[in-house]
Structure 1
Amino acid sequence: MKSIVICGSRRFKKEIREFAAKLKKAGIVVYEPIFNTDPKIRDLPEHFRRFSFLGLTHHQFTSIRKADAVYFYNQKGYLGNSSTLELGFTEALGKPIYALNEDKDEPCRNVLFDEIIKTPRELIKKLK
């Protein structure tokens, strides 16, 4: 059974969840990002806030280690800071890297994408 981790901005949370659901329906093991949408995290004392973000970051890194491949849901070519960290981490591990679109801002990120895959159906074929 193949597995994939999805990385992407929380601004695309709804679309990422829908994309992941289609993969799961096809029997793919999907590790989804934890999107912090609770504004109260900003009100925490600095040391608690720091550990909250550290936990979120390391959780995604653990998912990347477990998965067979990584998919960047970069709608309109957008990748944020966290996804850029995840991209570098994935490359360092030598895992296959797929993306929804070419990066709109940074050619150095584009060269790390092994393939642009537009639909869940295409990704399922690639993983099976």
Structure 2
Amino acid sequence: MESNNAITALSALAQNTRLETFRLLVRHEPEGIPAGELARLLDVPQNTMSAHLATLSRAGLVKSQRESRSIIYRADLDGLRDLTLFLLKDCCGGSTELCAPLIAELTPCCAPEAKPC
């Protein structure tokens, strides 16, 4: 990931409604959530939610798919992975003992056999 892409993604998440939206979508992977339901769950007007979703989409953090009359939004886990790896790539100057606690903290949620957080 390039620095400009990381800045765009971090900027998109630097707003409360967008951050809440993204975290909600991550919790509902892989099924996603219809746009109207997102607006209802977060108590945000639908047109405002559309603008937030567009910002997250341009940042590479959200993707959408039309299903019948609904647009289903999902977290773009590839975008999340790229952003996370960008932030952690040079973690602790290569000192694995310093990074190990961070990786261990992520493992319970991300291990295939783990229950969703």
TM-score under structure 2 normalisation?
0.27
More helix by share: 2
TM-score under structure 1 normalisation?
0.26
